Amino acid sequence: STSSLLSTDKDKSAATKDSTHEGASKRQEDGAETPKQQLLDIIGNMKVEVSYRNKLQQLKASESQKQAMNKLEGPDSEGFVPQGTTEETQRGKPLNPELVKAASAVASSLPRNKKQTESELLAQLRRHEETTDKQKKGGAIKIRNVISEMTVKRQTPAQRGARISGRISLQLDEDGQRIRPERSSAQSVDSRRYYCCVHFQSLKVGKRLNIFTKASTEPEHALKTVSSPTIWDLEFAKEVAAVTAQPPRNGFEEMIQWTKEGILWEFPIDNEVGMEDDAEFHEHIFLEKHLEGFPKEGPIRHFMELVICGLSKNPYLSVQQKVEHIEWFQKYFEEKKELLQE
Amino acid sequence: LCATGRYHRFHLFNQVLPSPCPRQVRSYYVDWRMLRDVKRRKMAYEHADERLRINAIRKNSILPRELQEVADKEIAALPRDSCPVRIRNRCVLTSRPRGVKRRWRLSRIVFRHFADHAQMSGVQRAMW
């Protein structure tokens, strides 16, 4: 049960504390193989590289578990907290006390050298705080740095065999630390799990690209108080366009030019280009309301009803045109009323 | 094919095309007959609605005959060039009144000329 607890803790805290574990393992050169092997096994068992926030949440979740353990352990764990606080005050940047407690809990759960692991964890946490602050401020962008830190690994089962041999000499940048050949051998067993690894940390560490920041268009609009461009401006613009217009380099550019001129239609073909009929169908069909100016009986009414029937079936005229049609007839018949009454 | 004559008094109907134009530019109508045809077409377009409505009254078995006679007189009073019957589909390039294919608006001679020079899209010499 203790080993399983250990493995779960280390899974949660694994990626961020990779370097710390490695650092601890480096300094424990005098130590036995077992902690190293444990660490390597844990790293090999790593299935998901979780983002930093999730890790924090998991740490907080584990903290509640660990507090129960701490109560059992008693004075040992409590001795570490003041150490952490002294280190904090030395650095000057306040860490989340919950994080500190979690770090101490994790360190206490590890079998060896709790003080060192604790300090390593805290150092790692501080580093992450610094990087997040840098991120918020937004440093200068260098694509080289970003690309060098990004690693996208995809593996097909066919390439696995080829990759395993090449793995040993690979230099993978994870927090700027190199992977040892031993590590790669442990990883090669679980290579299928590295299906699509983009190391999430390396995304946040480093300088920002500022590709997707919102362009601030509001001050530009505020500055635009110029009236609509004069004829001379338009003419000048036309001249400039005519002078700088290069002949099309290929068929695509030729087609683009033709589309702009109006020779070529825009694809996919819209049958209603130029037709902007905003009227609903009922305005086209039910035209009887326009017949109010006519007498309700007689041949004229009969005639007008036929006219309306024809108009309702006409898809080519707009509503405005149909109404004008009916109004023309109304005017005509009113002029001829004196004649009719003879 | 060059125009037979250039007539300069087309100030009403002068077509001025923009200068940077790599295609063929015809800035005058080919002859006066073509110009008259153009005038007739424009007038027919203007009076088309009126003519349609008056004719609707005339060609009617419902309305009384007096109305229809009045409509007859009205339509006769419209300008003569407003009727579409007077429009002649002339060749667009040579103004030839006869032998004009409607799809291309060209006379048979011009059509043949361009087709032989492979300047008519999709037109080929028939052979079967």
Q: Determine, for residues B53 and A332 on separate chains, whether the beta-carbon distance falls below 8 Å.
A: yes
Q: Which residue has the tokens 């694994």?
A: A14
pLDDT tens for B32-54 read 999 999 999 999 999 999 999 99
Give the domain-ending residue among A135, A161, A194.
A135
- Closest Cβ–Cβ partner in B49, B64, B70 for A299: B64
Amino acid at B15: Q
Instruction: Report the length, in residues, of chain B.
Output: 128
pLDDT tens for B6-20 read 444 444 555 544 445
Largest CA distance in chain A: 129
Whether A16 is in a domain gets the answer: no
Q: Residue A88: CB partners within 8 Å, gap ≥ 6?
A: A94, A95, A100, A122
Rounded to the nearest 10 degrees, what angle do helices A33-44 and A2-13 cross at? 60
User: Which pLDDT value is given to residue A80?
Assistant: 44
Whether A177 is in a domain gets the answer: no
Q: Spell A5-43 as b/e; 16+ CB within 10 A means b.
A: ebeebbbbbbbbbbbbbbbbbeeeeeeeeebbebbbebb
- Closest Cβ–Cβ partner in A242, A302, A325 for B62: A302
Chain B residue with CA closest to A338: the answer is B67
Whether A181 is in a domain gets the answer: no
Amino acid at A77: S
Number of domains in chain A: 2
Residue A52's SS3 state is helix
Whether A295 is in a domain gets the answer: yes
Whether A127 is in a domain gets the answer: yes
Whether A324 is in a domain gets the answer: yes
- The boundaries of the domain holding residue A297 are 281-341
Q: B5 to chain A, minimum CA–CA distance in Å?
A: 30
Whether A147 is in a domain gets the answer: no
Distances (CA, A) of B1 to B26, B102, B106, B112, B113: 12, 20, 13, 12, 9
Chain B contact present for A299, CB below 8 A: yes
Across the 128 residues of chain B, what is the mean pLDDT of every consecutive 10-residue run?
A: 44 50 78 96 96 94 90 94 95 95 96 95 94
Query: Which secondary-structure segment (H or E) carries A145?
Result: helix A143-149
Name the stretches of chain A with pLDDT < 70.
Answer: 1-33, 43-56, 58, 61, 63-64, 66-95, 112, 137-144, 146-147, 149-203, 215-227, 342
User: Which pLDDT value is given to residue A84?
Assistant: 43
The first and second tokens of residue A236, run together, are 């000048």
pLDDT tens for A4-63 read 444 445 444 444 444 444 444 444 444 455 777 777 777 666 654 445 666 667 677 676
The first and second tokens of residue A161, run together, are 């065999």
Preceding amide of A268 cis, omega within 30: yes
Domain B31-88 falls in which CATH fold?
Helix Hairpins (1.10.287)
Structural domain spans, chain B: 31-88, 91-121
Q: B128 to chain A, minimum CA–CA distance in Å?
A: 34
User: Which pLDDT value is given to residue B79?
Assistant: 94
Residue B100 — φ and ψ, nearest 5°? -105, 130
What is the C-alpha to C-alpha distance for residues A81 and A296, in angstroms, rounded to an integer? 99
The pTM (predicted TM-score) of the whole model is 0.45
Q: Are A164 and A191 contacting, i.e. CB atoms less than 8 angstroms apart?
A: yes
User: Which pLDDT value is given to residue A336?
Assistant: 86
